[in-house]
Amino acid sequence: MAKKGGDADEGRLVVARNKKARHDFKVLDTWEAGLVLKGTEVKSVRSGKVAFQDAFARLDGGEIWLHNLHISPYAAGGRWNHDETRVRKLLLRRDEIRRLAGKVEEKGLTLIPLDLYFRRGKAKITLALCRGKKHYDRREELKRRTMDREAQRAIRGED
């Protein structure tokens, strides 16, 4: 028997992650949005042929659109295949879009996709409100991570 309510990550199958996003941007807030896909796109996404390079979301006419998400053509698609980098619509509630619109207007903030996954058979994307990191911020983060790693090694070596 299936549980009702349950865990938020129930049935979540992550297909692709945008690893570069957390390196280049500081994530301020996240949302889960549905993704409108064509049939051959769904088959290609299920096989993991997705690239997030330079992908971003933009608010246009009261709707949110995902730009530059590369989904490779499906091998058996033939003439019904899709355009790899077409603009795709994101599905959010009206009040969420209004809240997002107010925040995106702020200088220096952008919407970046973090990961693409399937939940209960539906394609979903984690959308993040981000601010770009400066070069020195990235270097500081790398230094901090290296120091933490060395400290953990030292602790394990003493046990």
Domain count, the chain: 1
The CA–CA distances, whole Å, from 13 to 17, 52, 96, 132, 155 equal: 11, 17, 24, 28, 35
As a whole number of angstroms, the distance between CA 51 and CA 17 comes to 9
Say how far apart CA 87 and CA 83 lie, in whole Å.
Answer: 9
CA-to-CA distance for 152 and 159, rounded, in angstroms? Answer: 11
pLDDT of residue 1 exceeding 70: no
Using the Cα atoms of residue 28, residue 132, residue 33 and residue 8 in order, give the sign of their dihedral: negative
Residue 3 in this model has a pLDDT that exceeds 80: no
This prediction's pTM: 0.74
pLDDT, position 10: 64
How many other C-beta atoms can be found within 10 angstroms of the C-beta atom of residue 135?
Answer: 7
Residue 50's CATH number: 2.40.280.10
pLDDT recorded at residue 6: 40
Q: Does the residue 156 lie in any domain?
A: no
Residue range of the domain that includes 70: 12-133
- 105 within domain boundaries: yes
Report yes or no on 4 lying in a domain: no
Range 41-78 burial, b when 16+ CB lie within 10 A, else e: bbbbbeeebbebeebbbebeeeebbbbbbebbbbeeee
β-bridge partners, 90: 35, 64
Position 9 scores a pLDDT of 56
Average pLDDT, the chain: 85
Stretch among 6-10, 11-15, 90-94, 114-118 having the lowest mean pLDDT: 6-10
Q: Is the pLDDT of residue 4 over 80?
A: no
Looking at per-residue confidence, does 100 or 82 come out higher? 100
pLDDT tens figures, 34-85: 999 888 888 888 888 888 888 999 998 889 999 999 988 888 877 777 778 8
Kindly tell me if the per-residue pLDDT of 126 is higher than 50. yes
Q: Is the pLDDT of residue 103 over 90?
A: no
